[in-house]
Structure 1
């Protein structure tokens, strides 16, 4: 139980601070023999923590887009055009954003930290953002736990 809680807390910190890679933590945590069920529980704990951390980035960007600084940046025609293009792509098509966010959460390409901010800036619905990030991160981290266990044993 301590390992699950530690994994959850570390994954929140890792999601907020990019210099704390959760993957390095997982390699260390997965070094003892674990079965599929424990890897899934640890992967879900890491996925939940990462989702909480990315929600913070999402909300900061969502609220920050209305700031004077952001509005000054958006006053530049090229930046405004790009913002409007992506806003239009997202409008009425939440599954488009879900697919991109899921790929970022699962594969790390594009980087999820950047995509969480983009999701907030474009005001992606939170009901679409949260499950895409949670499921993608849980798959990624469970696979890492299982992969390390398989490689070591």
Structure 2
């Protein structure tokens, strides 16, 4: 239980602070928990923590788009055109938005931190954002935990 809670907490911190890579933690944690069910459970804990952290980035960007600074940037016609282009692509296409977010969450390309902020800026529906990030991160981290477990044993 302590390892699960620690994994959850470290994953939140890693999601908020890009200089704390979760993958480094996974190598150490997986070495202490040598079973497939434990690896999957830790992957779920890490996925849940990463989702909590990315929701914070998402909300900061969603609320920040209405700030004076953001509105000043959007006054630039080129910036505004790009923003409106992406808004139009996302509007009414939750599966398109979910596919991009899922690739970012599971493969890390484009970086999920950036995509969480973009999702907030574009006001991606939360009902699309949360499960997509959770499932993508859980798959990524579970495979990493399982890979370390397989390599060690």
Give the TM bin, normalised by the shorter chain. Answer: over 0.9
TM-score when scaled to structure 2? 0.98
In structure 2, the gaps of 5 or more residues are none
Q: How does 1:1-153 map to 2 (within 5 A)?
A: 1-153=1-153
Offset from partner CA, 1:104-136 (integer Å, 9 cap, x none): 000000000000000000000000000000000
Count of aligned pairs between the two proteins: 153
Task: Report the alpha carbon displacement of residue 145 of structure 1 after superposing the two structures with TM.
Answer: 0.2
Q: Conserved in 2, the CA contact under 8 Å of 1:32 and 1:149?
A: no
Distance 1:33 1:84 in 2: 48
Distance 2:37 2:132 in 1: 22
Task: Report the alpha carbon displacement of residue 20 of structure 1 after superposing the two structures with TM.
Answer: 0.7
SS in 2 for 1:30: helix
TM-score when scaled to structure 1? 0.98
Task: Report the alpha carbon displacement of residue 152 of structure 1 after superposing the two structures with TM.
Answer: 1.3
Task: Report the alpha carbon displacement of residue 33 of structure 1 after superposing the two structures with TM.
Answer: 5.0
Distance 1:2 1:72 in 2: 47
SS in 2 for 1:4: helix
Offset from partner CA, 1:58-117 (integer Å, 9 cap, x none): 000000000000000111111111100000000101111101001000000000000000
Distance 2:98 2:33 in 1: 34
Across the aligned residues of Structure 1 and Structure 2, the Cα RMSD in angstroms comes to 0.7
Distance 1:40 1:79 in 2: 42
Task: Report the alpha carbon displacement of residue 32 of structure 1 after superposing the two structures with TM.
Answer: 3.1
SS in 1 for 2:72: helix
